[in-house]
Amino acid sequence: MPELQLLRADHADRLLTFETDNRAFFARTVEDRGDDYFTTFPVHHQAVLDDQAKGRLRFHVLVADDGEILGRFNLYDLENGTAELGFRLAEKATGRGVATAAVRELCDRAKGYGLRSLRAGADVANRGSRRVLQRAGFVQTGETSFWRNLYDEFLIGGELRVRRLGFGAMHLSENDGDVVRRAVDLGVTLIDTAYLYGWGANEELLARTLWPYREELLVTTKVGVAQPGQLDGRPEVLRAQVDAALTRLRMERLDLLQLHRVDPEVPLADQVGTLKDLRDQGKIGHIGLSEVTVEQLAQAREIVEVASVQNRYNLLDREHDAVVDACEAAGIAFLPWRPVLPAVDGLTAESGATPAQLGLAWLLARSPVILPIPGTSKIAHLEENVAAGAIRLTEAQWKRLS
């Protein structure tokens, strides 16, 4: 009989580790189902075993540290780079992040199987499983269907794992907490804010709505603007703004902190050097820049590792093409602000996508380091934007848009 895989979960409140033990799966399956489990429907199960032997079907089981089975998963390779994901969860596996962590682990393993994407169908479209899929990075593409590009994640600074399609919080008002919650429920793991957005009110909204933060969520903010139209990159101002951001966001450390603008009145070395000092003090994890040139990026990188750059960039505004290319060459995340366009050519009718979705799909295809952060205060627009992650432009379509 072909080997099956067991995912063993040793956890308290959340999943910590996986182990592989094939024999344990068989022992537990016989115990749960009886000795005739694989012979009850001999024709069907022979087909299952044949698919396993060919490597098309892989079973996985999630087991608690006391041996109780919490979930059963299978991946069926459709032989086009995509596999169908099916799973059943025990009630106690939901609500603690265990099932979500298991699905994420399966996504990582699927890459090792040579797969590029996963889809999940109606059999897992109940409320609890839908929530698990969304938190694991799947996009809902139909009433009962979900899809996940296995290569839609990026490691900012080599360690902050986020989905490439994020959310910009700039347009939110104090009553828009439901939009933020919906973004996170849809699987968004990167949220961008700044002191400038409401002079701290935006940061307070995010903390009020999302704290305590999910482990997979990265909230990044920006400093360096003192008041409308006035940049202030003086070291004492940057230090004070970082301390205030930590308080408003209820964080002990800002995993990613970006310099909102380079203050021309203060040497760039002083501004970046101050952020480096704050990083060395443990107040900042990674440092990013915003609205910089290739030359400024290179100068900053001589002082400190730069994890991200946030410049205005979209299909029609490509002034910073050279910055995108420099970021890609260095493995630096590029967060384009104002990524959504009001209109795109007739490709919308051909593709069935909205102009906003096409603009986002173009960005995602432009470079693997691009992490769009579209913002909105409307849940409908948010859902439309997130769904853009499931759009795959053909080479011809990408060239037409370009």
Report pLDDT digits (tens) over 204-215: 999 999 999 998
Please tell me whether residues 86 and 112 are part of one structural domain.
yes
CB atoms within 10 A of CB 262: 22
Do the domain assignments include residue 81?
A: yes
Do 113 and 209 have their domain in common? no
First vs last C-alpha separation in the chain = 52
Pick from 302, 209, 309, 214: nearest CA to 256: 309
Q: Are residues 300 and 268 in the same domain?
A: yes
In a shared domain, residues 130 and 157: no
Residue 172 has pLDDT above 80, yes or no: yes
158 and 81 assigned to the same domain: no
Name the band, by pLDDT with cuts 50, 70 and 90, for residue 14: very low
CB atoms < 10 A from the CB of 361, how many?
Answer: 25
Assign residue 36 the CATH number of its domain: 3.40.630.30
Output the average pLDDT for the chain. Answer: 83
The 3-state DSSP class for residue 50 equals helix
**Domains in the chain: how many in total?**
2
pLDDT single digits (tens) 309-341: 999 999 889 999 999 999 999 999 999 999 987
104 and 167 in a single domain? The answer is: no
For residue range 230-261, what is the model confidence (pLDDT) as tens digits? 999 999 999 999 999 999 999 999 999 999 99
Predicted confidence (pLDDT) at residue 142 exceeds the cutoff of 80: no
Mark which of 82, 108, 136 sits at the end of a domain: 136
Q: Tokens 């957005």 — which residue?
A: 197
Separation in Å, CA 81 to CA 76, 114, 122, 151: 11, 7, 21, 12
The C-alpha atoms of residue 387 and residue 385 are separated, in whole angstroms, by 5
Alpha helix ranges (H) inside 162-283: 177-185, 201-210, 235-249, 268-280
Around Cβ 320, how many Cβ atoms within 10 Å? 20
Q: Is the CB of residue 14 less than 8 Å from the CB of residue 215?
A: yes
Give the Cα separation of 187 and 391 in Å (integer).
Answer: 16
The distance of Cα 342 from the centroid of its chain, to the nearest Å, equals 25
Tell whether 37 and 180 lie within a shared domain. no
Give a yes or no: residue 358 inside a domain: yes
| Same domain, yes or no: 70 and 178 | no
116 located within any domain: yes
The set of catalytic residues is 197
Regarding whether 386 and 325 lie in a shared domain, the answer is: yes
Let me know: does 265 contact 237? Beta carbons within 8 Å.
no
Q: Within this chain, do residues 123 and 161 fall inside the same structural domain, yes or no? A: no
Q: Would you say residue 29 has pLDDT above 80? A: no
Q: Is there a single domain that holds both residue 327 and residue 273? A: yes
Residue ending a domain, choose from 87, 110, 136: 136
Q: Is residue 15 part of a domain?
A: yes
Spatial neighbors of 35 by CB under 8 A, at least 6 apart, are: none
Domain around 240: 153-401
Answer yes or no: is 334 within a domain: yes
Tell which of 101, 136, 171 closes a domain: 136
The enclosing domain of 172 has a CATH number of: 3.20.20.100
Q: What is the pLDDT of residue 33?
A: 52
Instruction: Give the predicted TM-score (pTM) of the model.
Output: 0.77
Establish if 147 belongs to a structural domain.
no
Residues 98 and 165 in one domain: no
3-state class (DSSP) for residue 191: strand
pLDDT tens, 189-198?
Answer: 999 999 999 9
